[in-house]
């Protein structure tokens, strides 16, 4: 039994024959090669999870759904971080990988679970080439309790000192908010929820998130 999939988790087990008839040829071909799908933030019926299929080209992205019972393997962004495979990556000189090496000790010291997402996370988890020299480093930080904005600004300073561009999302119990936005001065911030983006004052306050 796998844990309940969360946004950015990678799932194996979706097959070409599971896709609807209108699915593009490239998506079927990708699944035929046992490419994992990425959990996306969208509503799903009971027993299903919303997923996205990545193709070889940047513009090849296809939204679909997967039965929970079809999941054969799940890899979370947090397990990618714990594995530390980037330290043996053949292209450690790339900015995203150098940035990851720079920030990993700082994130480990926060006492919060963090993970690698985006193209680099996909590559580290699957072994399938997805990142390129210009790739940003995409990270997620599980934030079950309120983190004040001064704390967010201090973490931004750490990220800004890294040798590559870093985009970090704070994952609250109700959705995700960009660290840089929470560190800013705007009274309201954009919270990505299962039912779409919402502007809220406090990303940790359930009463502010529309049903």
138 tagged catalytic: yes
Listing from the earlier edge strand, what are the strands of the sheet with 166-172? Answer: 114-117, 137-142, 166-172, 175-178, 189-193, 196-200
136 tagged catalytic: yes
Q: Which of 70, 136, 167, 202 is catalytic?
A: 136
DSSP code of 135?
P
Q: How far apart are CA 142 and CA 132, in angstroms?
A: 26
Listing from the earlier edge strand, what are the strands of the sheet with 48-54? Answer: 61-67, 48-54, 37-39, 10-12, 73-75
Q: Which of 9, 70, 108, 138 is catalytic?
A: 138
Q: How far apart are CA 114 and CA 5, in angstroms?
A: 16
Residues annotated as catalytic (active site), given as ranges: 136, 138
């Amino acid at each position: 039994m796998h844990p309940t999939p969360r946004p950015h988790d990678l799932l194996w087990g979706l097959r070409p024959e599971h896709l609807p008839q209108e699915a593009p040829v490239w998506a079927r071909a990708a699944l035929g090669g046992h490419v994992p799908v990425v959990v996306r933030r969208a509503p799903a019926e009971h027993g299903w999870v919303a997923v996205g299929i990545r193709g070889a080209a940047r513009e090849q992205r296809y939204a679909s759904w997967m039965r929970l019972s079809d999941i054969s393997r799940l890899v979370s962004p947090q397990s990618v971080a714990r594995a530390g495979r980037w330290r043996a990556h053949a292209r450690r000189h790339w900015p995203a990988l150098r940035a990851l090496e720079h920030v990993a000790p700082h994130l480990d010291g926060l006492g919060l679970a963090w993970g690698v997402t985006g193209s680099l996370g996909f590559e580290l988890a699957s072994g399938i080439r997805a990142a390129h020299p210009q790739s940003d480093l995409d990270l997620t930080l599980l934030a079950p309790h309120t983190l004040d904005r001064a704390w967010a600004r201090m973490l931004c300073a750490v990220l800004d000192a890294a040798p590559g561009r870093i985009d970090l999302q704070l994952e609250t119990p109700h959705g995700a908010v960009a660290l840089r936005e929470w560190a800013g001065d705007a009274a309201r911030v954009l919270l990505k929820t299962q039912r779409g983006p919402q502007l809220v004052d406090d990303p940790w306050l359930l009463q502010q998130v529309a049903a």
